[in-house]
Amino acid sequence: MQSPMILPHTYLTSDFSAPGDARGIPAPSEAKIERRAIVVKGDEVAVHESANGGWKLRTLECTGTVFLGPWKGCEVWALDAESFTGVTGGARVELHNDIRMRSLREIAPALTKRERSLALSAVGMLTWHRDARACARCGSSVKATRHGWSLTCESGHENFPRTDPAVITLVRDTRDRVLLAKNHRFTGGMVSALAGFVEPGEDLEDALKREVHEETGLVVSDLEYFGSQPWPFPRSIMIAFTSRLAEDADTDITLQREELASARWFTREELAKALEKGELRLPPPTSIARSMIEAWRKGRLL
């Protein structure tokens, strides 16, 4: 199904094209090609300001821990600034010529699609390298194999990167109002669609219905796939659905107070007024939650 998105999903990038090994895992070529590295520190990447005031990835002439693929005639790697003591080392990256370290969440919209794809892989893979220091099967130490795409222990157990699926839904009632909630973690009056992680044994639809019911007591149905968004902070993919309050179901909300500070139904006019007054704000334009909300505001949801 063609999703009715009206904002670009900044993190939705799928043009990854690297030479691969027999399992399709990216591998550098044998040719003498210049090797450059994207420098990563937590969720920050090294960038420089472009002529038009935007941001461009600022790579260094070296290899890194994880091979990412070809870009601009080079082979590009991901390099963890914390483990790199050569030219720029940790915090000193900030001081090196024109390099700035900026949060990928903040600068992603300014990057090209290919830059975003590389930067997302770099942040996601290096986060995994930092967090997965022991073999998941036997607990012994691991070292990078397959050019960083696996971590292998002394017993030969090969560990691969994991992605945690999370679901998010914009629920509508029969009056075409939407349910927006304020999570305790949100700041500055932000409200968003309901979301949660998928548990073992659940399909996406079950996970979504469970999350909505746990957090609000509401029963939803008519799930329609909207789109997905990789979110390597630290290792999720957000899978978005629109949904409807189940037929004859109560619109009364029973708030799960440990998770949510508030949740309520909004008409388009009520939301517009609250945003105008500055009482509420929506998630960033780069998020799939915002894409769904904007599609609803423009009457573009099915």
Residues making contact with Zn ion (CB under 5 A)? 135, 137-138, 153, 155, 157
Least Cβ distance, residue 139 to Zn ion (angstroms)? 7
Length, in residues, of the chain? 302
Q: Using alpha carbons only, give the angle 53, 54, 55 rounded to the nearest 5 degrees.
A: 130
Least Cβ distance, residue 161 to Zn ion (angstroms)? 16
- In degrees and rounded to multiples of 5, residue 288 shows phi and psi of -70, -30
DSSP 232-292: TTTTEEEEEEEEEEPTT--------TTTEEEEEEE-HHHHHHHHHTTS-BPPPTTSHHHHH
Q: How do beta strands 220-231 and 44-49 pair?
A: unpaired
Least Cβ distance, residue 141 to Zn ion (angstroms)? 9
Least Cβ distance, residue 25 to Zn ion (angstroms)? 19
Q: Which is nearer to Zn ion, 132 or 249 (CB)?
A: 132
Least Cβ distance, residue 132 to Zn ion (angstroms)? 12
Q: Which is nearer to Zn ion, 135 or 240 (CB)?
A: 135
Q: What's the DSSP call for residue 89?
A: -
Q: Which is nearer to Zn ion, 153 or 220 (CB)?
A: 153
| Secondary structure class of 59 (helix, strand, coil) | strand
Least Cβ distance, residue 184 to Zn ion (angstroms)? 38
Amino acid identity, residue 227? G
Structure tokens given for 190: 């932000």
Least Cβ distance, residue 152 to Zn ion (angstroms)? 8
Round to whole Å and give the CA distance between 168 and 292. 10
What is the distance between the terminal CA atoms of the chain, rounded to a whole angstrom?
11
Q: Which is nearer to Zn ion, 113 or 137 (CB)?
A: 137
Round to whole Å and give the CA distance between 126 and 110. 22
Q: Which of 82, 28, 33 is closest to 61 using CA atoms?
A: 33
Q: Which is nearer to Zn ion, 52 or 155 (CB)?
A: 155
